[in-house]
Chain A
Amino acid sequence: MTIAIYVVLCLSAAVFILATAVRAVWYARAPLHLRWELYPVPHEAAERAAHGGSYFEQSAWWTRPAPANHWGTVKALATEVLFLRALREFNRPLWWRSFPFHAGLYLLAATVALVLVSAVAALSLPSLAAAWPGAVLRQLFRVTGVAGLILTPVGAAGLLHRRLTDPDLRHATTPGDLFNLAAFMIALTVLGAGYALRPSDAPGLLAMAVGLLTWDTGVRVPGLLAAGLLLSALLAAYIPFTHMSHFVGKYFTYHAVRWDDAVNRRGGAIEKTMAAYLTYRPTWSAPHVTADGVRTWADVVTTMPPDKAKR
């Protein structure tokens, strides 16, 4: 049983990391698109960012350096990632449910990281782990873990309830959406219950993590806790294959689309990239496009459509 838990935990972590990386690479390798920004853009100069303005508001903007308001970007990112600013501003009823759900997930991710750090410390620096720094870490991951295990399923239950009762959301809900929320609710409730109801002599989080790192098959995980761990691990492996991997997508929708106002300078990198794209050979079939799979985009857009191309 213990070996099975270790194997599932390791495989799930590997699948999560690998699938997330594949998705990120898929997006990152997509061609540089034509500009499609949306204002406000937070890296604009503060006086313009405040009203959603851009460098186009300046006289002779092309003679001025590109805006680089890093503090503006950090602030926008922090409020969006940590507090779900857009949802809070534009969909408050859903935010009340979504925020605890996401906050709980952040806390659980922090818990995993803190437990692993503690386990590594316990193995490599036992004196430090036994002293106050180790005690602080242990206290910290207990708090984050318990809070995460409460907030996430509560948030998931709230989201599920909203999806089932709000006519707008119900209309737009697929069975897959219900499954996803139910999966979070069930997996983390079982994990929470398993943790809370474990016998007093059962291993704690740190002991299990040390056992995993040393592949100690002598660690005895109680049944309910084991079920919670297995369900949670499988859920983690499932996430990157769904729209819930928006923690990856969102990086690109914001940085590579909404906020991408990078100017094409003569002789610059963008110009070189575009030159390569213009050698692609489109196959669009409408006569006015004049694409035949042989002519390049450069050929297509520098020749006029034939008169007969009227539909």
Chain B
Amino acid sequence: MSRTDGAPIAHVDSADLMPLQAPLDNPARERPWSPLSDRAKTQYECILDDTCAVSVPKPATKDEEAALVTAFLSGLDKLFTRENNWTFLQPLLLSMEHCARCQTCAAACHIFEASGRNEIYRPTYRSDIMRRLYFKCVRRGGMLSAWRHGDIEVNWPLVARLIELAYRCNLCRRCAQTCPIGVDNGLIAHELRKVFSQEMGIAPREIHDNGSMLQLKAGSSTGMSPAVVRDNLQFIDEEISERTGITVETPWDVEGADVLLIHNAGEILAWPESVGAFSLILNAAGISWTMSSELVGYDSINYGLWYDDAQFARVALKHADAATKLRAGRIVLGECGHAHKALSVVADRILAGERNIPRESAMTLLRDIVMSGRLTLDPARNSFPVTLHDPCNMVRLMGIVEPQREIVRALCPQFREMTPHGVDNYCCGGGSGFAIMSGHNFADWRFQVAGRKKLDQVLGAFADCLDPSTPKYLCAPCSNCKGQFRDMLAYYGLWEQNRILYGGLAELIVNAMTDVRPGYIEWEWH
């Protein structure tokens, strides 16, 4: 990691990658990996592996390098102080102090396995570097400490590579789940990202500049202002009304509504059929609900969850404020995993007084509606193979496992589980911001390495019906996961050649509603 030759320290060859099952076991369907451009190599610190996620500009001088190293070390110190990092200090200390280096976590990591067990993607590789830095630079350990914990040379190439390495983990925490001691490699990656963002001002453009910063300024990371989002919803209402034969109207800014529904605003632009399905279902079920046109109140995303405590808290407070202003009974989070965890779990302890409004998952609300009998549903309308993806944030990190399953079991006669599933699921490969990151050739890494294990699971779930004559539905009740599946299925031609379509949960419900014109799910790529 500290090598100064300016060359990447790891390479993933196609031949090393974990083999995929049919139909992607056919070499003809392999995708070549685009090399990094010469421009990227010249301008940015792309010296970790074959790709570049953060695009840190190369320092112009040795002094600039030294200043960056000093900033990093200063941030590292702050990370272990109460004043700066009360938010995660205790779990971080525990993960620093107690790793037994037993490598139990390695077998749990989809990235390590899919890469063909490339050492730099081993969950403990990053953590051990962090641990060595902790004992050397924070605890000020000497030679004895280096002998016990391992030494490390601190220089700019190390820091530059560590910045990239912090973005080779999906933060899915599957590794932490298997650790006998409870050490959390995902947390360590998260905390490293915080040092880079909060101290050095370094984070991927997609999640900071075009993510949390844009959301706080414009109201949404999509750039949609309140007026635009209302326009778009009106268009969606009209479209869905025409398509279903049922008049759909999305209520806005209704004071005292029981439910404030907050979608990931990306859904409004990319998957309007999901947003429209929610409006239709909630109206048909007679729910007292509203959406908010308050700034940030119509976009549930909270990218700060992945890299920056300050940005995280700012967005969470905005969400709570939108609900407080409307005196809503509860906030219901639409189909977005990280938004679920951000507002329901991680932000829970910073929401005080009136801001502490109950937060509920759309999975639970939809389950209650479906099971209540308030909708007339015909499972025969969903008579095609369906499998269910478990978004890590919603399932392993929040324990919402069964509500969505109760729905698909009730409405999808050909439902089949992936192996493994539930809290033991694998990440889609788009977690922790990757689904929206495609700079340089990062998408190749995202599909060929990070998403590979999940892709293999999907193929396994549909192994008996891969023929294109059978349309198949991969239900992913999470916007980021859907984004990853959209791009990954297209990348491997799995819609074109095998008719595997992805979509949300609400669409399956509307597709089964007998009041609705048949065929809500349009078997078209989008």
**Residues in A lying within 8 Å of B, measured CB to CB:** 26-27, 30-41, 44, 48, 51-62, 80, 84, 86-87, 89-91, 94, 98, 168-169, 171-177, 179, 242-246, 249-250, 252-254, 256-258, 261, 263-266, 270-271, 274-275, 277-278, 280-291, 297, 300-302, 304-305, 307, 309-311
Contacts and interface: CB of A to CB of B under 8 A. Distances in A.
B506 to A, nearest CB: 18
A87 B102 contact: yes
Residue from the set A31, A283, A311 with the largest chain B CB neighbour count within 10 Å? A311
Interface stretch (B13-21, B29-37, B103-111, B429-437): B103-111
Contacts of A258: 176, 182
Contact of B401 (A53, A253, A257, A274): A53
Interface string B228-270: 0000000000000000000000000000000000000000000
A257 B94 contact: yes
B187 interface: yes
Nearest to A255: B182
B349 A34 contact: yes
Contact of A288 (B310, B345, B352): B310
Contacts of A35: 345-346, 348-349
B413 to A, nearest CB: 22
Interface of B: 71, 74-75, 78, 82-84, 86-91, 93-95, 97-104, 106-108, 119, 124, 128, 147-150, 173, 176-184, 187, 197-203, 208-209, 213, 216-217, 308, 310-311, 313-314, 317, 330, 344-353, 356, 358, 360-361, 364-365, 368, 395-403, 422-424
A29 to B, nearest CB: 9
A301 to B, nearest CB: 4
Contacts of A302: 314, 317
Given A31-B89, A256-B90, A283-B78, A168 B106 contact: yes
A305 B399 contact: no
Contact of B395 (A39, A252, A257, A282): A39
Given A38-B396, A86-B178, 4 more contacts: A38-B184, A246-B100, A257-B184, A305-B314
A274 B178 contact: no
B402 A53 contact: yes
Contacts of B346: 34-36
Given A286-B198, A304-B216, A310-B213, A33 B91 contact: yes
Given A36-B187, A270-B349, A301-B313, A91 B107 contact: yes
B98 A249 contact: yes
Contacts of B180: 80, 84, 86-87, 90-91
A34 B87 contact: yes
Given A264-B348, A301-B317, A282 B107 contact: no
**Majority-rule SS of B interface residues:** helix
Contacts of B424: 52
A40 B184 CA distance: 15
B102 A36 contact: no
Given A52-B422, A257-B182, A304-B217, A40 B399 contact: yes
Q: Which 4 residue pairs of A and B lie closest in terms of their CB atoms, listed nearest first?
A: A54-B399, A253-B182, A176-B148, A52-B423
Contacts of B147: 174-176
Contact of B108 (A58, A90, A291, A301): A90
Contact of B93 (A30, A172, A177, A305): A30
B71 A284 contact: no
A284 B310 contact: yes
Contacts of A307: 217
Contacts of B208: 288, 311
Nearest to B106: A168
Contact of A173 (B101, B181, B187): B101
A33 B90 contact: yes
A258 B176 CA distance: 9
Contacts of B200: 285-286
A281 B83 CA distance: 6
13 contacts: A33-B88, A51-B423, A56-B361, A56-B400, A60-B360, A90-B180, A172-B124, A174-B147, A249-B98, A250-B98, A252-B94, A254-B182, A264-B351
A185 to B, nearest CB: 16
A177 to B, nearest CB: 6
Nearest to A94: B102
